[in-house]
Amino acid sequence: MNHKLNLMATACTLLAATCHADELAEKGRDIFKKYQHAVVTVQTVLKVTDSRGGRSSNPSEIKRDLTGTIIDPSGLTVLALSSMDPAELYRRVSEEYNKIDTQVNDVKLLLDDGSEISSEIVLRDEDLDLAFVRPKTKPSAPMAAVDLTKSSSVEMLDPVIALNRLGRAAGRAYAASVERIVAVVQKPRTFYLPGAGASATTLGSPAFALNGNVVGIFVMRAVSAGDTGSRNPAENVTAILIPAEDILKGAKQAPEAKGDTGKPADKPAGATNQKDTKDQK
């Protein structure tokens, strides 16, 4: 009799777990259908000059496909600055990179219909690892966008749905992943740490709570090598999920497109000076 009861209990447990997984998948698919077109490929051309060793190298250009999230129907898009122009992050984590100069020469939004929208950087924030870009000309129709004013916070061990657009090898297909929050950091500012498991999520991917509200964008956080005493760059950086409310503050200050040169734009008012590492500890 006890054996039969144990089998029934096990079967009920498995059934409950299966139902929960199905519910998670169903909510994830709903979020994917609603917001997938707000996730775009941002194609950039980065000019790099290396002057280490006392001699400058010939400039080289690197074309990259990055993930961006459209946050306004006008086409205003946010992505991780470290993915677009990693120079400042490299300088923070290792003094070896102090003599590498970079410049973003070209920015395009690649849409799923094959069209390209020439864009430009309008705002950078090294402290939050955010870059905002706008189309150089106003789109003929409003673009699909994530509403940052409709956001939710999450707790440790909560699942979030992350959306991404894959690379050329995968046909630039849209993708979704379930990420699990492993820690919530409160100071110096609130941010979330995702689990380290491999998934399709990349920097610039948006994450949503199961209620459909946006939680934030995946970026990198770096601390100074001098603060940690480690010269291993891998020990001084980590991927984080920055809350939507912090992104919204920068978005409200993003100017209109006016012919960006690739040089750093001004930071949002009130942002910490990049030389002050106190906020990075």
CB-based burial label for 75 (10 Å; 0-12, 13-18, 19+): buried
- What total number of domains does the chain contain? 1
Confidence of residue 279 (pLDDT cuts 50, 70, 90): very low
CATH of the domain at 209: 2.40.10.120
Rounded to whole angstroms, the Cα distance separating 147 from 162 reads 15
Mean pLDDT computed over every residue of the chain: 82
- Give a yes or no: residue 6 inside a domain: no
CA distances from 159 to 15, 195, 207 (A): 20, 10, 10
Q: Coil, strand, or helix at residue 8?
A: helix
Quick one: pLDDT at residue 262?
A: 43
Domain that holds residue 150: 24-255
- Give a yes or no: residue 275 inside a domain: no
- Give a yes or no: residue 146 inside a domain: yes
Judge whether residue 159 has pLDDT over 90: yes
Q: Coil, strand, or helix at residue 250?
A: helix
pTM over 0.75, yes/no: yes
HSE (CB half, 13 Å, CA atoms) of 268? Answer: 19
**Segment 212-245, tens digit of pLDDT:** 999 999 999 987 665 555 556 667 789 999 999 9
- The residues, ordered by sequence, that sit 6+ positions from 73 with a Cβ below 8 Å of its Cβ are 142, 143, 144, 145
CB-based burial label for 199 (10 Å; 0-12, 13-18, 19+): middle
- Give a yes or no: residue 173 inside a domain: yes
H/E element holding 35? Answer: helix 2-35
| Omega cis (within 30) before 159 | no
**Segment 92-143, tens digit of pLDDT:** 766 666 567 788 989 999 998 889 999 999 999 988 999 999 999 999 899 9
Mean per-residue pLDDT for 27-48?
A: 95
- Give a yes or no: residue 125 inside a domain: yes
- Give a yes or no: residue 278 inside a domain: no
